[in-house]
Structure 1
Amino acid sequence: MNFENALTALKAGKFLTRVGWGTALVYLVKKEGLATRTKDGKLATMAHRPYFSLRSAKAETLPGWTPRASDLLAEDWEIIDLEDV
């Protein structure tokens, strides 16, 4: 699919990858907040403007992903099911 359709899917909460990235282990998701810990160690979500987060093949989370021109022009976007990864 193209980026226009991929963006619609991201806004709907889907996980996406690109064939050009070489593996479904690298995927993109829209986030609404940032996970953080309170002073007493409890997990909390900090309010934040929506953003895209990329999960790398090394299982690193890279918040604030911004598409490059090649991503915007690509026709190889795919929705993935994380249970299949």
Structure 2
Amino acid sequence: MNFSDALNAIKEGKRLARAGWNGKGMFVFLVAGSNFRVSREPLPSILGEGTEVTYRPHIDMRAADGSIVPWLASQTDIMADDWNVVGITETAA
């Protein structure tokens, strides 16, 4: 599927990966927005303890090592037609 279709699938809560990615278990997913009160560093030092923060929806990636990182699509990702929905069993490293 193309990036437009992949983005719509992500918005529906699906996990997506590109066939061209080399890392096993890598996928991107939507992190829903939320509001929370600042309670752990580094935010209290920056914004003040208890400050309410609006955390906007964004896309994260599960990396090959199992860590979660913020994700930003590259030009190659945007132009690719090799996007696929992945299930729980396909995401295990």
Q: Same fold (TM over 0.5)?
A: yes
Counterpart-to-counterpart distance in 2, 1:67 and 1:21:
13
Q: What amino acid sits opposite 2:6 in the alignment?
A: A
Counterpart-to-counterpart distance in 1, 2:72 and 2:6:
14
Q: Work out which of the two has the higher radius of gyration on C-alpha atoms and give 1 or 2.
A: 2
SS in 1 for 2:5: helix
Match among 46, 60, 65 for residue 67 of structure 2: 60
Alignment length, in residue pairs?
76
Q: Provide structure 1 residue ranges, at least 5 long, that are not aligned to the other structure.
A: 40-45
SS in 1 for 2:81: coil
* Counterpart residue number, 1:42: none
Counterpart-to-counterpart distance in 2, 1:2 and 1:68:
14
Instruction: String of CA shifts for 1:11-67, please: whole Å, max 9, x gaps.
Output: 000000000102450000010147x9x96xxxxxx751000000000001002x110
Q: What amino acid sits opposite 2:3 in the alignment?
A: F
* Counterpart residue number, 2:89: 83
- Please identify runs of 4+ aligned residues in structure 1 that moved more than 3 A: none
Q: Is the Cα–Cα contact under 8 Å of residues 17 and 24 in structure 1 kept in the other structure?
A: no
1:2-13 matched pairs, under 5 angstroms = 2-13=2-13
Match among 73, 77, 83 for residue 79 of structure 2: 73
How big is the shift at 1:77? 0.2
* Counterpart residue number, 1:19: 19
TM-score (norm 2): 0.71
How big is the shift at 1:4? 0.4
Counterpart-to-counterpart distance in 1, 2:24 and 2:87:
9
* Counterpart residue number, 1:50: 57
